[in-house]
Amino acid sequence: MKVRADIAYKPYHLIELVKRLREFESEQYSGYLVSIERWVSMVVGNTPNPRTLTVDGEVICIGGISLLWTGVGEGWLIGSKLLESNPIYVQKRTLFHLQDALVKNDLHRIQATTVVGNELTYRWAISLGFQLEGNMCKYGVDGKDYYMYGRIS
């Protein structure tokens, strides 16, 4: 039986996650891992309750809602390969944390971005209640285009 946990984010979770991402690094992650630690340290500083989801003590993903300004947050998640084998658990916990962030932080909008070409993340954003709002050209650290999604309450 798998032991799953939803725990407060700690910096060593990121170290473990990056190590696992490097194990199956692909073109999708080129340029991405180089700045991931700096990006997370910047984002986590604006995230009131960053979370780590684990299975059998291994990190599935880290994520949270960064507060951009009054009433607006940006959802972020960095997942390991374990995300693929735990989709229902991740979906349920993500929906819980989205609703929790809306209420606790008095948000009227949460936005999220996905890299163009990743069909799975499009479907996931929509399943979480987000709507496609537009294309952001060369938004990524690697110069890739991203889509912006918004969830309005």
Name the residue range of residue 102's domain: 4-110
Residue 40: band (very low, low, confident or very high) from pLDDT cuts 50, 70, 90? low
CATH number at residue 98: 3.40.630.30
Q: Which tens digit of pLDDT belongs to each residue from 44-87?
A: 777 888 999 999 988 898 899 999 999 999 999 888 888 888 99
Distances (CA, A) of 93 to 52, 71, 87, 136, 144: 10, 22, 10, 28, 29
- How far apart CA 2 and CA 86 sit, in angstroms, is 10
Helical segments of the chain, H only: 11-23, 32-44, 87-104, 119-127
Task: Report if residue 123 sits inside a domain.
Answer: no
Task: Report if residue 115 sits inside a domain.
Answer: no
Task: Report if residue 8 sits inside a domain.
Answer: yes
In total, how many domains does the chain have? 1
Alpha carbon 153 to chain centroid, angstroms: 19
The pLDDT score that the predictor gives to residue 107 is: 96
- How far apart CA 10 and CA 50 sit, in angstroms, is 9
The structure's pTM equals: 0.83
What are the residues whose beta carbons fall under 8 Å from the beta carbon of 119, sequence distance 6 or more? none
Task: Report if residue 151 sits inside a domain.
Answer: no
| For residue 10, pLDDT beyond 80 | yes
Task: Report if residue 138 sits inside a domain.
Answer: no
Task: Report if residue 60 sits inside a domain.
Answer: yes
Sign of CA dihedral 92, 95, 97, 103: negative
